[in-house]
């Protein structure tokens, strides 16, 4: 673990495995609630000095961290492929994305402008300033083990906060590598701390109940997010949550079905479908359903599964056996209820894949609201196609979910694009765009997909308090 500027071991440790092969690739310290408390104390002790530094001083350290991450991107991406399983090309893209947050917030730190507000009284002046909220506790996921750390650490440090991070127990090695970069970049002792653990619940409870923690930020499942928010509520901690998704991908009949299918294949199978913005329901207007499915099927058929470090592999392993079972349960439920299976539909066990957690890239159509996959997030390599007839029906079907993170629309009609953007109840909407994300753009969802935003200036303000001064002059 990394606490107060030092790497610490513990009496206990836990192993880290490659999900593609099942082989052990490392071992890390197994922290507990007491270690979390010590890390929080260190962050609290470091807060006043860090918050008191100029924005330019904080920005310089983030700039250096960005430089180091770009310089070491190959090694970091290869580690990610071994630990998380994603293909090397995708891992390199994630390292770049993670570094982007360091660069963006290094720049944005210097733009924390206050404001003056006119008063109705001649003898009064109003001034508004923004100041760091304090110690931040962050819980990050396994599916994007580098960028989801920098997306929280960079704005927190830019704002003048200190932070304690608990990474996912499946990907602690990537987290250690990120903190090695922060240490080398000159982040002062106590400003950024890392607690690795195989039993996250006690650490999460410490984050929620320790009064020194002023903000909790979490990326993960809606179920865990609800529990953390509930535990943090008695102290009225600031909470931001980036939770599950159930993204619709709408293809209207004026779109080119082949072009739309190629886009759907790219974003659906991104990170083997293990992305919160991955489409779960592909809604296609009936008149172009056949050419769309033909193109999508042809694209999926070329996808090669295997170890992420193998040339040509585009489908990596799922995170664990439970994930494989969940995906297969959804597929079999859909087939048993009348869906048509076009490709895949089974775990991959041939040759050298048997030791890993691989599931075949799968295409099903004829999905109906009675099927589990219509309602629940899949988080795996399954494209579920649903036909619709009218624009109104498509919007209603897309909004027929408690989630509200991402949605996609393919159309060449400007009016339809704008009206769809306005009508869809999702925080992120790609219009003929399968990658509507950037460090410079706000990321977050509506409904049970979360609260708050990450990225952009909105992401910085999640770590700031607004202070008003009324001056009698």
Known catalytic residues are 242, 276
386 strand-pairing partners: 283
User: Residue 409 and residue 467: Cα distance in Å, rounded?
Assistant: 41
Give the CA-trace dihedral at 52, 55, 59, 62, to 10 degrees. 40
- Beta strands per DSSP E along 10-123: 13-17, 24-29, 115-117
Exposed/middle/buried for residue 233 (C-beta within 10 Å: 0-12, 13-18, 19+): exposed
Residue among 9, 62, 73 at smallest CA distance from 35? 9
User: Residue 162 and residue 207: Cα distance in Å, rounded?
Assistant: 13
SS (H, E, C) 412-461: CCHHHHHHHHHHCCCCEEEECCCCCCCCCCCECCCHHHEECCECHHHHHH
User: Residue 341 and residue 334: Cα distance in Å, rounded?
Assistant: 9
Residue among 353, 448, 345 at smallest CA distance from 405? 448
409 strand-pairing partners: 250, 431
85 strand-pairing partners: none
SS3 content of the chain, % helix, strand, coil (to 5): 45, 20, 35
Radius of gyration (C-alpha) of the chain in whole angstroms: 23
Positive or negative CA dihedral for 186, 191, 195, 200? Answer: negative
End-to-end CA distance of the chain: 52
Structural contact between residues 105 and 150, judged by C-beta atoms closer than 8 angstroms? no
17 strand-pairing partners: 24
- Beta strands per DSSP E along 272-321: 279-285
User: Residue 93 and residue 217: Cα distance in Å, rounded?
Assistant: 24
User: Residue 114 and residue 466: Cα distance in Å, rounded?
Assistant: 9
Residue among 22, 167, 171 at smallest CA distance from 91? 171
How many alpha carbons fall within 13 Å on the CB side of residue 348? 24
């Amino acid at each position: 673990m990394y606490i107060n500027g030092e790497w610490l071991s513990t009496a206990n440790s836990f192993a880290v495995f490659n999900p593609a092969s099942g082989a052990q690739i490392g071992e890390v310290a197994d922290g507990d609630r007491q270690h979390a408390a010590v890390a929080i104390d260190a962050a609290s002790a470091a807060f006043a000095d860090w918050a008191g530094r100029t924005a330019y001083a904080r920005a310089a350290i983030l700039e250096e961290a960005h430089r180091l991450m770009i310089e070491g991107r190959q090694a970091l991406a290869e580690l990610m492929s071994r630990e998380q399983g994603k293909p090397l090309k995708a891992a390199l893209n994630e390292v770049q994305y993670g570094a982007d947050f360091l660069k963006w917030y290094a720049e944005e730190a210097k733009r924390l402008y206050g404001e003056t507000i006119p008063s109705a009284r001649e003898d009064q002046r109003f001034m508004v300033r923004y100041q760091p909220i304090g110690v931040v506790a962050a819980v990050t996921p396994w599916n994007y083990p580098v960028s989801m750390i920098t997306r929280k650490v960079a704005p927190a440090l830019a704002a003048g906060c200190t932070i304690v991070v608990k990474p996912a127990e499946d990907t602690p090695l990537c987290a250690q590598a990120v903190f090695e970069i922060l240490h080398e970049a000159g982040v002062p002792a106590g400003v950024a701390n890392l607690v690795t653990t195989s039993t996250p619940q006690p650490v999460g409870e410490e984050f929620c109940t320790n009064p020194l923690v002023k903000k909790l930020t979490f990326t993960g499942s809606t179920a865990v997010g609800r529990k953390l928010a509930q535990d943090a509520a008695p102290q009225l901690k600031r909470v931001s949550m980036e939770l599950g998704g159930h993204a619709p991908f709408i293809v209207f009949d004026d779109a080119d079905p082949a072009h739309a299918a190629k886009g759907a294949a790219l974003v659906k199978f991104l990170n083997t479908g293990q992305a919160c913005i991955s489409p779960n329901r592909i809604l296609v207007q009936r008149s172009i359903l056949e050419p769309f499915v033909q193109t999508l099927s042809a694209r999926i058929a070329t996808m090669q599964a295997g170890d992420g470090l193998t040339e040509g592999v585009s489908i990596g392993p799922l995170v664990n056996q439970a994930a494989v079972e969940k995906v297969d349960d959804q597929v079999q439920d859909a087939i048993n209820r009348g869906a048509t299976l076009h490709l895949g539909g089974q775990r991959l066990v041939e040759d050298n894949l048997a030791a890993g957690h691989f599931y075949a890239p799968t295409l099903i159509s004829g999905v109906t609201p009675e099927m589990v996959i219509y309602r629940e997030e899949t988080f795996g390599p399954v494209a579920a196609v649903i036909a619709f007839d009218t624009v109104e029906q498509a919007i209603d079907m897309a909004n027929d979910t408690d989630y509200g993170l991402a949605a996609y629309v393919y159309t060449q009609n400007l009016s339809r694009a704008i009206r769809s953007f306005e009508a869809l109840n999702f925080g992120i909407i790609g219009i003929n765009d399968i990658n509507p994300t950037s460090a410079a753009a706000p990321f977050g969802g509506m409904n049970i997909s979360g609260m708050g935003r990450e990225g952009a200036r909105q992401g910085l303000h999640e770590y700031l308090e607004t202070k008003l001064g009324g001056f009698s002059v």
